[in-house]
Structure 1
Amino acid sequence: MARISVLDDEVSLEEPTLVEGFPGVGLVGKIATDHMIEAHEMVHYANVHCDGLPRVAVYRESNPALTTPVRLYADPDRDLVALRSDVPVHPNAATEVANCLDSWFAETETFPVFLSGLGREKGEEPPALYGVATGNGGDALERADVENPNESGLVSGPTGAMLAESLERDRDAVGLVVESDPQFPDPEAARILIRKGIDPIAGTDTPTDGLVDQAEEIREAKRSFAERMQEANEESSQAEPLKMFQ
């Protein structure tokens, strides 16, 4: 049964901003979300039980307690929620997962910020970032000075499904798309997501020096995850150009 199981009833959220971290191209969403959880010392707030998520249990070093592979972390002082996923989501399950989470967004009046990587070979310039929106989400992009897309494209995976759900329901939401390494974890692109997108929208101030100083360490830590995704052909979320006449 699809549900969000709250673990800490003492956490008080009003109209939280949610940062979504399903893994995709460059693992940028996951790296950014994991970093924000650690940087802001966010608490494990809820477990996510959605039809379509892999039926697996996760355990941590020095802790015997099992948990779900997709979880919500909260920072009530900043009215911030982060979705952390330890598993890729099969494209065939993306709609089920999106429907499950959208119900919780509606109940809690959550403003979601969806994250996606756009595969690009690395160049001399920093990765470009642009935003898309549904409902009145464009107001948040304008306030944060996030640029509009410079080409047509689409977002797939659970991130794309959640954006499509927001579009259908005319819910306020934004999607941030950042140019990312198409083959390897990309901490630099994740840093751009945080500094130029998430922080201005959520009103947070997240230290990101560690993402630069420890870039190689982060790549190594996430590399096996990225390889498992590629082997299983279950790229969770990605943006891609529409290469057709329009």
Structure 2
Amino acid sequence: MTEKHTTASFEEVTEIRADSPTLVEGLPGHGLVASIAVDQLTSQLDLEHYGTISADEFPPVVTFEDGLVQDLVRVYAGSNPAVMTLKSDLALPQPAFEPLSECVLNELADEFDRAVFLAGAPAESEAEIGTVSGVATTESIKADLVDAEIPIHDESGVVGGVTGSLVRACHKADVPAALLIVQSHPFLPDPQAAKSVIETALEPLVEFDIDTTALDEQADEIQQRMQQVAQQYQQVAEEQGDHQQVQTGMFQ
């Protein structure tokens, strides 16, 4: 009996031609830092819905917003600045990691110049929240991090979850990528950590300007709105024993 092999597929819904965009990943993970930050980027940069990714391994659901149904995993893009974002409204189960990673590499990697991934790590103190460090898949991306004055993460460690799978796939395929590790609240969705990674890392690295005022003014509202997604992420992670959490000498 042969094992069933399934793959994810990308469907373009709007023709957008951007000159070597940077892909910024915003999938649900620890503290929902990536999701909150990329929601802000997508909105403020007026990115358009470029396409959707589908796979049998994704949860059999649709989400809706403003009275309209939308696909679960979506890609947005714009040309000025040249940015592409990857979003999901729910945490994805472990069987979806590999198909999604293969789809990003096989169907999207030729379109973007480099990728930036975001991983939340539980801070050990309130003072650490929002601290950002970076790792790279190539020496050129490491140089980009240094040029953007983003501290290089100087400890060994492991990143799991869908973000770890995507970074691993980029590394194996020699796709230039950066992983930004953000210290965030151990238990709650963290708009302040998202604000910090935008201001101290994404803005200088990708070269755009984002107004993060809303992350201060609407912090409580954002926390409440994202709490359901955070609980769903936690449930999926516990069931699979597979957290995105960055594990280093400090975070065991």
**Cα displacement (A) at 1:51:** 5.0
> TM-score normalized by structure 1?
0.90
> Which residue in 1 is equivalent to 2:4?
none
8 Å Cα contact 1:51-1:100 kept in structure 2? no
What residue is the counterpart of 2:50 in the other structure? 45
1:78 maps to: 81
Instruction: Name the SS of the counterpart of 1:5 in structure 2.
Output: strand
Structure 1 residues 236 and 33: alpha-carbon distance in aligned structure 2, compared to 1, 3 A threshold: farther
- Cα separation, 1, equivalents of 2:169 and 2:205: 21
Long gaps (5+) in structure 1: none
Query: Percent of aligned positions with the same letter in both sequences?
Result: 30
SS at match of 1:89: coil
1:154: how far off? 1.1
Deviation digits for residues 190-213 of structure 1, max 9, x if unmatched?
011111111111111011011112
- Normalised TM-score (structure 2): 0.88
Give me the whole-angstrom Cα distance separating, in 1, the residues matched to 2:214 and 2:124.
Answer: 23
> 3-state DSSP class of the match of 1:56?
coil
Runs of 4+ in 1 over 6 A off after TM superposition: none
1:135-174 equivalences under 5 Å are 135=138, 136-174=140-178
- Alpha-carbon distance between aligned partners in 2 of 1:243 and 1:200, rounded to the nearest angstrom: 27
- Over the residues paired in the alignment, what is the CA RMSD in angstroms? 2.0
Separation in 2 of the partners of 1:145 and 1:243?
A: 22
Answer yes or no: is 1:240 the counterpart of 2:244.
no
1:35 maps to 40
Q: Alignment partner of 1:147: what SS?
A: coil
Structure 2 stretches lacking a partner, 5+ long: 1-6
Instruction: Give the match's secondary structure for 1:99.
Output: helix
Query: How far apart are the structure 1 equivalents of 2:221 and 2:135?
Result: 31
Q: Deviation at 1:76?
A: 1.4
Q: How many residues align?
A: 241
1:118 aligns with 2:121: yes
**Separation in 2 of the partners of 1:110 and 1:190?**
23
Tell me the secondary structure at the aligned position of residue 132 of structure 1.
strand
